[in-house]
Amino acid sequence: MKTISSRDNAQYKEYKHLATSSQARRKAGLTLLDGVHLCQAWLDLRGLPEQCIVSETALKNPEVAEIVGKIEHQRAHCIAMPDALYNAISQVEHGVGVMFVVPTPERAVPDALAVSAVLLDNVQDPGNVGSILRSAAAAGIKQVFCSGGTAFCWSPKVLRAAMGAHFVLDIFENVDLAALMAKAKVPTLATSGYATKRLYEMDLRRPVAWVFGHEGQGVADDLLSLATQTVVIPHLGQVESLNVAACAAVCFFEQVRQNQS
Amino acid sequence: MKTISSRDNAQYKEYKHLATSSQARRKAGLTLLDGVHLCQAWLDLRGLPEQCIVSETALKNPEVAEIVGKIEHQRAHCIAMPDALYNAISQVEHGVGVMFVVPTPERAVPDALAVSAVLLDNVQDPGNVGSILRSAAAAGIKQVFCSGGTAFCWSPKVLRAAMGAHFVLDIFENVDLAALMAKAKVPTLATSGYATKRLYEMDLRRPVAWVFGHEGQGVADDLLSLATQTVVIPHLGQVESLNVAACAAVCFFEQVRQNQS
């Protein structure tokens, strides 16, 4: 295992850059997975990381030692560093002290929507995007397409909220959602508070593509008009709408329910 | 309208204290609602605030002017202050510049659970608590009971995430959930990844009390054993579970679906 002990180390500076700049992450095509859960999920679902960074204290943690053991056994790179250096690149408060450097997959957008999918139009909040990815994965959906304005999926906050869902999904970013919807081979269903068709009236026993929009403004008008159908989740209360991640969960699991019954 | 122009003003110091200390908010029985949406919802659903605080720039905003007009017409108190002073007590970045000081209702816990309700056991994240309150209100649920370890509902983050749901709900905090469940007159349903009864097999065409737990550990064992039934949301993916707020939304709207069909 290699050790870094100085803030002036060139590799350390690179990590710090990755940790603090989303532009640096995009440019390098790399991101950081922080914490035992995400690292373990990567090992289980995707294999070895490019690098594994551990704090000196974390080396004594049995869960971390197990992760390091697996990686070194396969001759991948582990880098240890003093806690102070580790904490300066970690974005998790009171974290355990283990981090993976992993590639952020760049995939070519499929020719046409042909399986169950999620389209995110300008969803801003990283916590919401992460929760939607997590619910989609739990509901067995495989593809996620994000507009340019949607929060960057491979940012630390989205990764943390999604709890490993990234590793079982095919995520496409900066996608022209209008073009994708125009040539879809499955029905595209956009949620809207103004729709008249209720979610529970839809036949969801087939692949569909769900379209969710901005936290305040909802799905953009051009996408609403391209959708096969706009649907509403019926509300009983005086409150105006659901959080977008709650709305997505309700839609995905209504689809699960119909397919199981 | 009164104007405060100095940071040394005693009333300003009180606002600052309320804005920065949850202990101060609890002690005073007051909280701050920041932004046009929350203030408007309070006016619509609860009436006048104790005070309304506006920044000088916000006075020129037509939505804010309308709120101030309504309040002054009814002789409630508006306080204007320079933007710099306002921003130092606001927790909303790039907010509009209007805030209400309102009482945080203290209610006696009902003798027994007798209507549809939500019980939150140690739910930590303010965003999750806010989203659950919002979904509950949208699903027509009226009562929410929180354990001591659950995020304080009247904190700015929870208020922001709930978008006004607080004002249509009866929220009880620091509640002994075990005692409440022991004498419930409606079925208590606790979600658990280890349950065998699927959500979709439950008859929800009657009032029920939902129990949700800590983001990592779930519902505490003593509460699971007190529950009338533990239920699971069936998953299709390799991902281990849903976010607690997503889980709550799925449960509440399955109840809505069954009651509408």
A243 touching chain B per CB within 8 A: yes
**CB contact (8 A) between residue B253 and residue A256:** no
**CB contact (8 A) between residue A250 and residue B245:** no
Q: Tell me how many degrees the CA angle B177-A245-B232 measures, rounded to the nearest 5.
A: 50
Question: CA A100 from chain center: how many Å?
Answer: 16
A168 touching chain B per CB within 8 A: yes
Query: Which CATH architecture is the domain B117-260 placed in?
Result: 3-Layer(aba) Sandwich (3.40)
Q: Residue A251's closest chain B neighbor by CA?
A: B250
Of A137, A235, A245, the CB nearest to B138: A235
User: Could you say which residues from 124 to 153 on chain A have a Cβ atom under 8 Å away from some Cβ of chain B?
Assistant: 127, 131, 134-135, 137-141
**CB contact (8 A) between residue B234 and residue A260:** yes
**CB contact (8 A) between residue B246 and residue A242:** no
What is the pLDDT at residue A261?
A: 72
Same fold, B2-103 and B117-260: no
Interface size A-B, in CB pairs within 8 Å, comes to: 120
A216 touching chain B per CB within 8 A: no
Q: Which fold has domain A2-103?
A: 60s Ribosomal Protein L30; Chain: A; (3.30.1330)
The three-state DSSP-derived secondary structure of B112-161 is: CCCCCEEEEECCCCHHHHHHHHHHHHHCCCCEEEECCCCCCCCCHHHHHH
Enter the tokens of residue A252.
Answer: 């995905």
Q: Find which of A236, A254, A258, A259 to mutate to test the B interface (most B CBs within 10 Å of its CB).
A: A236
Q: Find which of A250, A256, A260 to mutate to test the B interface (most B CBs within 10 Å of its CB).
A: A250
CA distance B51 to B78: 6
Residues of B in contact with A253 (CB under 8 A): 233, 250, 254
**CB contact (8 A) between residue A138 and residue B236:** yes
Per-residue pLDDT of chain A (261 residues), as tens digits, is: 899 999 999 999 999 999 999 889 989 999 999 999 999 999 999 999 999 999 999 999 999 999 999 888 776 689 999 999 999 999 887 789 999 999 998 788 888 899 999 999 999 999 999 999 999 999 999 999 999 999 999 998 999 999 999 999 999 999 999 999 999 999 999 999 889 999 999 999 999 999 999 998 999 999 999 999 999 999 887 766 899 999 999 999 999 999 987
Answer yes or no: are the C-beta atoms of B165 and B192 closer than 8 Å.
no
A164 touching chain B per CB within 8 A: yes
B218 touching chain A per CB within 8 A: no
Q: Which residues pair with A137 in a beta bridge?
A: none
Of B140, B200, B242, the CB nearest to A138: B242
What is the pLDDT at residue A75?
A: 67
Structure ipTM: 0.92
Residue ranges of chain B whose pLDDT lies below 50: none
Q: Find which of A169, A205, A243, A252 to mutate to test the B interface (most B CBs within 10 Å of its CB).
A: A243
Residues of B in contact with A45 (CB under 8 A): 238
**CB contact (8 A) between residue A131 and residue B245:** yes
What is the pLDDT at residue B22?
A: 85
B231 touching chain A per CB within 8 A: no
What is the pLDDT at residue B240?
A: 66
Residues of B in contact with A168 (CB under 8 A): 237-239
CA distance B237 to A139: 6
φ, ψ of residue A231 to 5 degrees: the values are -130, 155
CA distance A45 to B240: 13
Residues of B in contact with A163 (CB under 8 A): 239-241, 243
Of A164, A238, A253, the CB nearest to B239: A164
Every domain of chain B and the residues it spans: 2-103, 117-260
Answer yes or no: are the C-beta atoms of B140 and B164 closer than 8 Å.
no
What is the pLDDT at residue A258?
A: 96
Answer yes or no: are the C-beta atoms of A80 and A3 closer than 8 Å.
yes
Residues of A in contact with B235 (CB under 8 A): 138-140
Spatial CB neighbours of B248, under 8 Å, sequence gap ≥ 6: A246, B118, B131, B132, B135, B136, B210, B212
Q: How far is A222 from chain B (nearest CA, A)?
A: 26
Enter the tokens of residue A128.
Answer: 């919401």
Answer yes or no: are the C-beta atoms of B205 and B184 closer than 8 Å.
no
